[in-house]
């Protein structure tokens, strides 16, 4: 049993297309493994649930575990993880097909000092996709949460997400301004402006009223935003640039957008430069698992550096 020979192991990465055979707790104890110093677990498997595949390892690592990254296969439940996740967890990353709302709520209710939360999820082929509403489940972590990454970008073969939920647009997303230490924010434009032509303009809350004064980095990812909403985005970005110049967002350093086109004509780069903010475009087209894996690795590395400070 290799893990018995690695008493100082702090990061465990398990990924593959087949289910892992778990090592039960009695087997670990028989190998004289009574505790594990693992601080970060990155698990991604096409088949099998997290608790079944990690089993004893997960139980022994709980006291030291601060970072958990989960690649959830279709139909896999987060509820089993929610039953055992330690309240000491600081960084949580979830990718894969959409989690059930109740499972996500149960998992986040166990996390009371989260500093990083990443949710990258998409619908299945030809099935209407209504994204979960994680913001309302993160309210208990608003005094601690520093990085929030909500990516509901869907691949070309999937039905677009139904960001038409009035509650999502008018009540949930705007609550982010009440997260006093939030520094890094990644959102789909559709999560702010909706994804349809017939959305009531009155439902849209200006982006500048969503951001907390603590914001340092903002990334807006285009999600088939229709032309009228591009105008809303451009206007909001101009207002944020002006607000930053006046000191309303004193820590803002970076604004990234992957929707050039109409935005390039507004001189946004110059407006943000006057406020000392780096504004740029990054082509972040959906590229499936490769993008998601690189994202998890990049965020996990950042979390590891943060936790060692």
Which pLDDT value is given to residue 132? 65
**According to the model, what pLDDT value does residue 94 have?**
87
Closest CA relative to residue 232, chosen from 171, 277, 169? 169
The SS3 call for residue 97 is strand
Backbone angles phi, psi at 17, to 5 degrees: -90, -5
pTM: 0.83
**Residue 288 confidence (pLDDT):** 42
Q: What is the pLDDT along the chain (309 residues), one digit of tens a residue?
A: 566 667 778 888 877 655 556 677 777 777 777 777 788 888 776 555 666 666 677 777 777 889 988 887 655 667 777 777 888 899 999 887 767 788 888 889 889 999 999 988 765 555 555 566 788 889 999 999 999 998 876 544 344 445 445 666 667 778 899 999 999 999 888 778 776 555 667 777 889 999 999 999 999 887 555 556 777 888 899 999 999 999 999 999 999 987 666 566 568 889 999 999 999 887 764 434 434 444 444 444 444 444 444
Biggest CA pair distance of the chain: 67
Going from the C-alpha of 148 to that of each of 14, 33, 58, 186, 188, the distances in angstroms are 24, 36, 25, 6, 12
Query: What pLDDT is recorded for position 293?
Result: 43
Please tell me the predicted confidence (pLDDT) of residue 225: 55
H or E segment to which residue 269 belongs: helix 268-274
The pLDDT score that the predictor gives to residue 174 is 80
User: What's the pLDDT score for residue 156?
Assistant: 41
Q: Quick one: pLDDT at residue 227?
A: 56
Close Cβ partners of 203 (under 8 Å, ≥ 6 residues apart): 166, 169, 170, 194
For residues 240 and 203, the answer to whether their CB atoms sit within 8 Å is no
Burial of 87 (0-12, 13-18, 19+ CB in 10 A): exposed
pLDDT of residue 135: 87
Q: What is the pLDDT of residue 53?
A: 67
Residues 6+ apart with CB under 8 A from 63: 35, 86, 88
Tell me how far apart the alpha carbons of residues 293 and 291 are, in angstroms, rounded to a whole number.
6
> Vertex 142, ends 275 and 162: CA angle to 5°?
85
Give me the pLDDT at residue 296, please.
Answer: 46
Residue whose pair of structure tokens reads 């595949």 in the numeric block: 53
Q: Which CATH architecture has domain 76-307?
A: Alpha-Beta Horseshoe (3.80)
């Amino acid at each position: 049993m290799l893990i018995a020979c690695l008493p100082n192991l702090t990061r465990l990465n398990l990924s593959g297309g087949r289910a892992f055979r778990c090592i039960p707790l009695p087997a670990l104890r028989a190998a004289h493994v009574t505790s594990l110093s693992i601080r970060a677990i990155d698990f991604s498997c096409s088949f099998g649930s997290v608790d079944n595949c990690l089993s004893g390892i997960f139980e022994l690592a709980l006291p030291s575990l601060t970072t958990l990254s989960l690649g959830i296969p279709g139909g896999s439940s987060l509820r089993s993880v929610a039953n055992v996740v330690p309240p000491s967890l600081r960084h949580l990353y979830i990718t894969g097909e959409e989690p059930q709302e109740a499972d996500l709520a149960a998992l986040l209710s166990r996390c009371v000092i989260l500093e990083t939360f990443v949710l990258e999820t998409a619908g299945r082929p030809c099935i209407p996709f209504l994204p979960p509403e994680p913001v309302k489940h993160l309210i208990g972590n608003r005094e601690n949460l520093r990085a929030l990454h909500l990516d509901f970008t869907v691949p070309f073969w999937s039905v677009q997400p139904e960001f038409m939920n009035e509650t999502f647009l008018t009540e949930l997303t705007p609550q982010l301004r009440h997260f006093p230490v939030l520094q890094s924010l990644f959102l789909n434009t559709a999560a702010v402006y909706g994804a349809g032509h017939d959305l009531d303009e009155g439902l849209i809350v200006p982006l500048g009223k969503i951001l907390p004064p603590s914001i340092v980095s903002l990334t807006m990812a285009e999600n088939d935003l229709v032309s009228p909403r591009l105008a809303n985005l451009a206007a909001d970005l101009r207002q944020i640039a002006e607000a930053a110049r006046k000191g309303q967002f004193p820590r803002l350093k970076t604004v990234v957008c992957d929707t050039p086109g109409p935005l390039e004509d507004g001189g946004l780069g110059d407006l943000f430069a006057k406020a000392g903010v780096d504004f740029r475009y990054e082509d972040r087209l959906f590229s499936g698992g490769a993008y998601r894996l690189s994202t998890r690795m990049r965020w996990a590395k950042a979390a590891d550096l943060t936790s060692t400070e």
